[in-house]
Amino acid sequence: MATHNILGHKGEDMAAEYLQAQGYCILERNWTNQGRKEIDIIATKDDIVVFVEVKTRKVGSATTPLSAVDGRKRHRIVLAADSYLKENRIDFCCRFDIVGIIYNDTDSRIEHIMDAFRASPKFY
């Protein structure tokens, strides 16, 4: 497995642990729809379905985890979320969060941005 994939999996594990400690119930991890659309973590809290994008970077990386979620990535997440909601016949409120992790073997930092972006009005 490539080094960046190993780091990504570590970050997703850390994000899932963090979210559970904050009272989230993890429904899915690395959910895919026909292999094309992917969501890192799908969770619930307070009757809200939360679609979480996890971005992990090493300390000193040129880009921040949160800056890696650009318009194109947000659009793909929204399409995947729409597929998930339809496939599972879920009619709850939902939101899109980003968990950014700056990884260091001894001292990692987690930043959780709730309601980080909104879906276009067509989504609702």
Enumerate the H helices of the chain as residue ranges.
Answer: 3-21, 71-87
Long-range contacts at 6-9 (CB < 8 A, ≥ 24 apart): 7/56, 7/58, 7/103, 8/54, 8/56
Q: How confident is the model at residue 68 (pLDDT cuts 50, 70, 90)?
A: confident
How far apart, in whole angstroms, are the C-alpha atoms of residue 117 and residue 99?
A: 12
What pLDDT does residue 124 have?
Answer: 46
What total number of domains does the chain contain?
1
What CATH number corresponds to the domain at position 107?
Answer: 3.40.1350.10
- Statement: residue 5 has pLDDT above 90: no
Domain membership of residue 46 as a residue range: 3-123
Helix, strand, or coil (residue 69): coil
What pLDDT does residue 81 have?
Answer: 94
